[in-house]
Amino acid sequence: MQTKTAIITGGGSGFGREVALQLAKKGTNISIVDLSKENGEETVRLCKDLGCDAIFIQADVSKVEDVKKYVDQTVATFGKIDLFFNNAGISGSGVRTIECSVEEFNTIVDINLKGVFYGLKFVVSEMLKTGGGVIVNTASLGGLVGIPTLGAYSATKHAVIGLTKAIAGEYGRENIRINAIAPGTNETPMVKAYPKEAIEKMAEAVPMGRLGQPHEVANVVSFLLSDESSYIHGAVISIDGGAVAL
């Protein structure tokens, strides 16, 4: 079987790193894209330890020239792009929406929405040249319901779902499969740093009574990026212990 090539944005931490490790175990060539050189290079090291070929590309997904760079560099290194986990994102400082500064609102839009669009723009162009591929965009539970104090975040994640659905309608016949995931709160490094009481309160609000673990999200992303999910297209998959059901 031909070796597949994947690009993972936000691959230096959290979901991105977990997905990288799962794809590495399948022997995938991997481009790790992240702002953080230290974390991105650490993911590359972990992937290589699992026997795959991996490179780190330092890039800011909110800068169109950086996005073109990570796409071009991946194609120059591995020849093509089969899989794309369009995942890098940030949340927000947790204030009521009108108290969010214009600067912070713009930054969240630049990374969470424009960054996802730029990635789709250049990656889909490459996939069209090579006969197709599979894409997973990271939305959020906050893309399906409004999260008070995370207005900009919720707005951009709703927008990621809109982009996913629109583009799925455009490229399915050209063998490009595109889905979105909507994770609930997961114990990534950021959440783990919260006070114990805050974590317990968040867990209580989830029907399953606990927060998610990054590998539980990565399991779904790996499935969506594999041929096992060959007829899932334009879907938004919740991974949230039932939180969206309330």
Ligand X SMILES: NC(=O)c1ccc[n+]([C@@H]2O[C@H](COP(=O)([O-])OP(=O)(O)OC[C@H]3O[C@@H](n4cnc5c(N)ncnc54)[C@H](O)[C@@H]3O)[C@@H](O)[C@H]2O)c1
Q: Does 153 qualify as catalytic in the annotation?
A: yes
* Active-site entry in 153, 171, 194, 231: 153
Distance of closest approach, residue 14 Cβ to ligand X, in angstroms = 2
Specify whether the CB–CB gap between 201 and 170 falls below 8 A.
no
Distance of closest approach, residue 167 Cβ to ligand X, in angstroms = 17
Distance of closest approach, residue 27 Cβ to ligand X, in angstroms = 23
Distance of closest approach, residue 28 Cβ to ligand X, in angstroms = 19
Calpha distance 70→85 (Å, rounded): 13
Strand ranges, E, within 118-190 = 133-138, 176-183
- CB-nearer residue toward ligand X: 141 or 167: 141
| Sign for the pseudo-dihedral over CA of 189, 243, 146, 182 | positive
Number of CB atoms found within 10 A of residue 237's CB: 19
Between the alpha carbon of residue 218 and those of residues 113, 114, 236, the distances in Å are 21, 23, 15
Instruction: Please give the single-letter amino acid code of residue 93.
Output: S
- CB-nearer residue toward ligand X: 51 or 105: 105
- CB-nearer residue toward ligand X: 85 or 128: 85
- CB-nearer residue toward ligand X: 23 or 61: 61
Which residues here bind ligand X, judged by CB under 6 A?
9-10, 12-16, 34-36, 39, 59-62, 87-91, 111, 138, 140, 183, 185-186, 188-191
| Sign for the pseudo-dihedral over CA of 72, 78, 81, 85 | negative
Task: Characterize 60-88 residue by residue with b for buried, 16 or more Cβ atoms within 10 angstroms of its Cβ, and e for exposed.
Answer: bbbeeebbebbbebbbeebebbbbbbbbb
84: left (phi over 0), alpha (psi -120 to 50) or beta: beta
Distance of closest approach, residue 134 Cβ to ligand X, in angstroms = 18
Annotated catalytic residues are 153
